[in-house]
Chain A
Amino acid sequence: QVQLQEAGPGLLKSSETLSLTCTVSGYSISSGYYWGWIRQPPGKGLEWIGTVYHDWSTYYNPSLESRVTMSVDTSINQFSLKLTSVTAADTAVYYCARAIILSGAHDYWGQGILVSVSS
């Protein structure tokens, strides 16, 4: 069974850098899917942040691209997200998910991690 688990600090201050990791179990991230991050501010809708492939190819939402970096570590089956210069608007539940290359469908999701940004 494929499982994804987010990890990282739950509280940041404005201007700091958000760093999250997603550990994948039950499937090798080198085996042909995209791996992505999606966030959801409290009480609001979903927002695609970006996606990474095992060859380190990255694809970012244009609205966040200047602040986002994603990477993979195939040796520990993990991928990560960095978001710089955070503000209160970045307060959200951050989900990692697996996406099927041909269809773009996100078939497996982590439980999500709430990251709050205080001023």
Chain B
Amino acid sequence: QSALTQPASVSGSPGQSITVSCTGTSSDVENYNLVSWYQQYPGEPPKLVIYEDNKRPSGVSKRFSGSKSGNTASLTISGLQAEDEAHYYCFAYARSGPDWVLGGGTKLTVL
């Protein structure tokens, strides 16, 4: 069970779109097949923004979307706003365990 790979940082200007990737091994993809994404501000607990690969919880902006292809899950934020500047983490879940494998986190900077 190794950590999922995320870029350490991404950046974008207000109004642009950015994508954060979350890559696992073929074993991860086979066994941990449900991905959720979390937004975390400094000093705060994480907040769920995407679950089941591409579903948005009630109250989360439509600017957040998720997808998955092969070994990689992705979080896309469109129409970047200053308030989106935060760390983002992916979690992959195996119902059969159950257990989770987590990504190392990505810091998003809004320029």
A-B contact count (CB 8 A): 72
B residues in contact with A103, CB < 8 Å? 34, 36, 51-52, 93
Given A45-B89, A62-B1, check contact A102 B45 (CB 8 Å).
no
> B105 and A105: CB pair below 8 A?
no
Main secondary structure of the interface of B (DSSP, over half): strand
Within 8 Å by CB of A104, from B47, B91, B105, lies B91
Residues 53-111 of B at the A interface (beta carbon under 8 Å): 57, 89, 91-95, 97-105
- With A and B bound together, what is the CA distance between A104 and B94 in angstroms? 8
The answer to whether A109 touches B98, judged by C-beta atoms less than 8 angstroms apart, is no
Q: Are B98 and A51 in contact (CB under 8 A)?
A: yes
Are A105 and B45 in contact, CB atoms less than 8 angstroms apart? Answer: no
Q: Which of A102, A104, A107, A109 contacts B100 (CB 8 A)?
A: A104
Cα of A111 to Cα of B46 in the assembled complex, Å = 9
Mind listing 30 A-B residue pairs with CB under 8 Å?
A34-B98, A45-B102, A46-B38, A46-B89, A59-B97, A61-B1, A62-B1, A95-B45, A95-B46, A100-B51, A103-B34, A103-B36, A103-B52, A103-B93, A104-B34, A104-B91, A104-B94, A104-B95, A104-B100, A105-B34, A105-B48, A105-B57, A105-B91, A105-B93, A106-B38, A106-B46, A107-B57, A109-B47, A110-B45, A112-B45
